[in-house]
């Protein structure tokens, strides 16, 4: 089945007693079992599993062409579970502009879990190969990256990971499975913050790990989720499943709008640079063309005039909302260094933009008046 068809139907087994077309939400925290804890319905307690959560996991595995998926309370919880599934003593190689929550985990938590981490420019395969050590068990890629929109060559990274005996996990939050399929390119797992495009409406928090194989790491991550408890709630799972149904057409419009906006901004005299992999000037454009079917709805703009120039533009926006997060129907804009706080490596004149589903002309006009 084609991707669009799968997103509409995957995980949608119908209840043959009620014949609902839309799935029900199973809120029960506990499930009747046999006297020796036999599970006639397959479930026993909500922290371990529940039917609505399973339906979302089944849908995500189907659309990524994976053997299994686990859904979590947030994207950060999903990523933390993958890291906690690694053996003590592991070295993890992160991108130098990894999402700041994972940078925090690398700095503050991995040492407590007897693991080490280092960072590298993931867009440079030679540097990645040189940065692996005999202890490297995991290469962590994020492409496009947040917020610099760097592109990592996934097939190349998968080859390095294979040679090093390491896993490759890809944070595919910006691209979504609609535009990029890391498992087909050799990755072991894909991470999604389902809070973003998969939910798609800025009204639900969640995360997912999608595994090429139901291997040992899958089992360990499932154990982490069950025992540490960062499991996706039934209502949240249901909302993400509903979001998934429209993912393919939303990503088409997000991508078209972002390309139109990026092209207009690149020609604007008040703009120093636009980071968007769909622009031929982007250093990762050729790789992005190869591994993405479109370039997504995220871009970053470096405004002339430094931090003040960026904040001035942000304060003059009429349509774009100054807010963090991304992937909803409405366009959002964020002075990323302010959100990341002290020690942020993000350039001070950078505005991160989540391009929504409005008409591109209105979005371009809003930037024009703000930059005037």
> Smaller CB distance to ligand PLP: residue 153 or 334?
334
Please identify which of the residues 97, 171, 188, 366 carries the catalytic annotation: 171
- Near ligand PLP by CB under 6 A, which window of 12-20, 157-165, 168-176, 212-220? 168-176
Residues touching ligand PLP: how many (CB under 6 A)?
14
Residues between 75 and 104 that touch ligand PLP (CB under 6 A): 75-76, 99, 101
Q: Which residues contact 307 (CB under 8 A, 6 or more apart)?
A: 335, 337, 348, 349
- Near ligand PLP by CB under 6 A, which window of 150-158, 171-179, 246-254, 337-345? 171-179
What burial class does residue 195 get, using C-beta atoms within 10 Å of its C-beta: 0-12 exposed, 13-18 middle, 19+ buried? buried
- Near ligand PLP by CB under 6 A, which window of 57-65, 170-178, 182-190, 273-281? 170-178
Q: How far is residue 310's CA from residue 250's CA, in Å, rounded to a whole number? A: 28
> Smaller CB distance to ligand PLP: residue 180 or 195?
195
The correct pick among 146, 257, 300, 331 for binding ligand PLP (CB under 6 A) is 146
Q: How far is CA 339 from CA 200, 325, 334, 346, 361, in A?
A: 21, 10, 8, 10, 28
> Smaller CB distance to ligand PLP: residue 99 or 320?
99
Task: List the one residue out of 313, 292, 283, 302 whose CA is nearest residue 352.
Answer: 302
End-to-end CA distance of the chain: 48
47 carries an active-site annotation: yes
197 carries an active-site annotation: no
Residues between 207 and 246 that touch ligand PLP (CB under 6 A): 207
163 carries an active-site annotation: no
User: Residue 257 CB, nearest distance to ligand PLP (Å)?
Assistant: 19
The correct pick among 143, 195, 331, 346 for binding ligand PLP (CB under 6 A) is 195
Task: List the one residue out of 86, 108, 322, 85 whose CA is nearest residue 226.
Answer: 85
Please identify which of the residues 82, 99, 100, 197 carries the catalytic annotation: 99
| Conformation bin of residue 149: beta by default, left when phi > 0, alpha when psi is -120 to 50 | left
- Near ligand PLP by CB under 6 A, which window of 166-174, 210-218, 257-265, 349-357? 166-174
Q: How far is CA 211 from CA 73, 181, 368, in A?
A: 18, 12, 43
User: Residue 34 CB, nearest distance to ligand PLP (Å)?
Assistant: 37
What burial class does residue 303 get, using C-beta atoms within 10 Å of its C-beta: 0-12 exposed, 13-18 middle, 19+ buried? buried
> Smaller CB distance to ligand PLP: residue 174 or 367?
174
198 binds ligand PLP (CB under 6 A): no
**Beta strands 332-335 and 321-322, pairing class:** parallel
Q: Vertex 350, ends 344 and 352: CA angle to 5°? A: 95
- Near ligand PLP by CB under 6 A, which window of 69-77, 124-132, 304-312, 335-343? 69-77
The correct pick among 142, 153, 340, 366 for binding ligand PLP (CB under 6 A) is 142
The correct pick among 132, 143, 193, 202 for binding ligand PLP (CB under 6 A) is 193
Overall size of the chain counted in residues: 372
Q: Which residues contact 113 (CB under 8 A, 6 or more apart)?
A: 83, 84, 88
User: Residue 191 CB, nearest distance to ligand PLP (Å)?
Assistant: 7
User: Residue 287 CB, nearest distance to ligand PLP (Å)?
Assistant: 18
Q: What are the φ/ψ torsions at residue 349 (nearest 5 degrees)?
A: -100, 20
> Smaller CB distance to ligand PLP: residue 31 or 94?
94
| Conformation bin of residue 144: beta by default, left when phi > 0, alpha when psi is -120 to 50 | beta
Q: How far is residue 120's CA from residue 93's CA, in Å, rounded to a whole number? A: 7
Cβ–Cβ under 8 Å, residues 65 and 215: no
* C-beta nearest to ligand PLP: residue: 75
45 carries an active-site annotation: no
> Smaller CB distance to ligand PLP: residue 55 or 74?
74
Q: How far is residue 257's CA from residue 362's CA, in Å, rounded to a whole number? A: 10
Binding footprint of ligand PLP on the chain (CB under 6 A): 74-76, 99, 101, 142, 146, 171, 173-174, 193, 195, 205, 207
Provide the annotated active-site residues: 47, 99, 171, 196
């Amino acid at each position: 089945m084609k991707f669009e068809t799968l997103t509409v139907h995957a995980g949608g087994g119908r209840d043959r007693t009620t014949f609902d077309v839309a799935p029900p939400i199973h809120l029960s925290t506990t499930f009747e079992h046999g006297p020796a804890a036999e599970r006639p319905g397959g479930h026993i307690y909500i922290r371990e599993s529940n039917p609505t959560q399973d339906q979302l996991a089944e849908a995500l595995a189907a659309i990524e062409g994976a053997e299994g998926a686990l859904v979590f309370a947030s994207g950060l919880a999903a990523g933390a579970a993958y890291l906690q599934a690694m053996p003590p003593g592991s070295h993890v190689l992160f991108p130098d502009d990894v999402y700041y929550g994972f940078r925090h985990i690398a700095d503050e938590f991995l040492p407590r879990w007897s693991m080490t981490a280092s960072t590298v420019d993931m867009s440079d395969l030679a540097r990645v190969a040189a940065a692996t050590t005999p202890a490297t068990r995991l290469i962590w890629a994020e492409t496009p990256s947040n917020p610099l929109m760097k592109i990592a060559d996934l097939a190349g990274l998968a080859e390095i990971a294979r040679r090093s005996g390491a896993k490759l996990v890809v944070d595919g939050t910006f691209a979504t499975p609609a535009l990029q399929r890391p498992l087909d390119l050799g990755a072991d797992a894909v991470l999604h913050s389902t809070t973003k495009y998969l939910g798609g409406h800025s009204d639900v928090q969640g995360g997912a790990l999608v595994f090429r194989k139901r291997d040992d790491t899958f089992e360990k991550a499932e154990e982490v989720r069950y025992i540490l408890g960062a499991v996706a709630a039934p209502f949240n799972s249901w909302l993400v499943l509903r979001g998934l149904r429209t993912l393919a057409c939303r990503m088409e419009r997000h991508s078209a709008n972002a390309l139109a906006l990026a092209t207009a901004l690149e020609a604007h005299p008040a703009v120093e640079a636009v980071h968007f992999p769909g622009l031929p000037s982007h250093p990762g454009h050729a790789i992005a063309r190869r591994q993405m079917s479109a370039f997504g709805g995220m871009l970053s703009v470096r405004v002339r005039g430094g931090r003040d120039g960026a904040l001035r533009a942000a304060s003059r926006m009429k349509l774009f909302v100054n807010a963090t997060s991304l992937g909803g129907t409405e366009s959002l804009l964020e002075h990323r260094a302010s959100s990341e706080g002290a020690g942020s490596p993000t350039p001070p004149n950078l505005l991160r933009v989540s391009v929504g589903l409005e008409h591109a002309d209105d979005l371009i006009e809003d930037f024009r008046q703000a930059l005037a």
